[in-house]
Amino acid sequence: MRLDKLLSALGAASRSGCRDLIRSGRVKINGVPAGSGADRVPSGAEVTLDGQALDTRLTRHVMLNKPAGVLTAREDTRQKTVMDLLPPVYASLECMPVGRLDKDTTGLLILTTDGELAHRLISPQRHVDKVYEAKVEGTLTGEDQAAFAAGVVLSDFTAMPAALQIMGPGLARVTVQEGKYHQVKRMFGARGKPVISLRRLSFGPIELDETLLPGQYRELTEEEAAALYAAAGMTHA
């Protein structure tokens, strides 16, 4: 890949700003000052800017413990988005959320630079399990469980069967495969038990790392990334 393209993808500066950095001798490839933006960066090469090694990986996958009050969006003119919780390099690399959580929903959100991966994971055909912890008004019963298992009838569609595990009178774990707008809230709402709070615990093979405080993130491990690609029916590069 061309050096100027790499540097601007990483958000080091604008394309012309990157050329200036290179011209002023601040960028080295394997210890050798780069000559021009057109220099090729061999894969695995060390690229430094002002002596600091750059993380040149263009593909990244992140898990975020989404806090309440933040939009799942790549950008918004007025409100804080999940991208604001990550270092700017992720936005430069066009990292995108895999599906969306409501503004008040917390917990596991995966973000990736791989658009194909994101697209496949949220495809309704893919049936990826999503597990949520829900606190609801009222007392959950075996009838709610049966209704979830049969597929809750909503005004515009019937939800796919979902597993409801009752953890306490108003506390449950629910496993759904769909991801329609306000899906889980609507399913509980249809049972007359409105959701008080919702937290996602897992997405396919990925479980929320409970050591992450709300608002914190980490990159997926190699094993997690491989499992996610497998869940998407793709081979992990």
Provide the binding-site residues for ligand URA, judged by CB under 6 A: 101-102, 105, 182-185, 198
Cα(30)–Cα(27) distance, integer angstroms: 10
Rounded CA gap, 38 and 120, in Å? Answer: 34
Nearer to ligand URA, 105 or 112 (CB): 105
Distance of CA 22 to the CA centre of its chain: 33
Q: Which is nearer to ligand URA, 217 or 229 (CB)?
A: 217
In angstroms, what is the minimal distance from the CB of 130 to ligand URA?
7
User: Of 93 and 201, which has the nearer Cβ to ligand URA?
Assistant: 201
Contacts of 81 (CB under 8 A, 6+ apart): 70, 71, 72, 73, 74, 75
Selecting among 50, 55, 84, 102, the annotated active-site residue is 102
Minimum distance from CB of 184 to ligand URA (Å)?
A: 3
Least CB distance to ligand URA at residue 6 (A): 36
CA gyration radius for the chain?
22
55 is an active site residue: no
Handedness of CA 8, 14, 18, 19 (dihedral sign): positive
Which residues have a catalytic role annotated?
A: 102
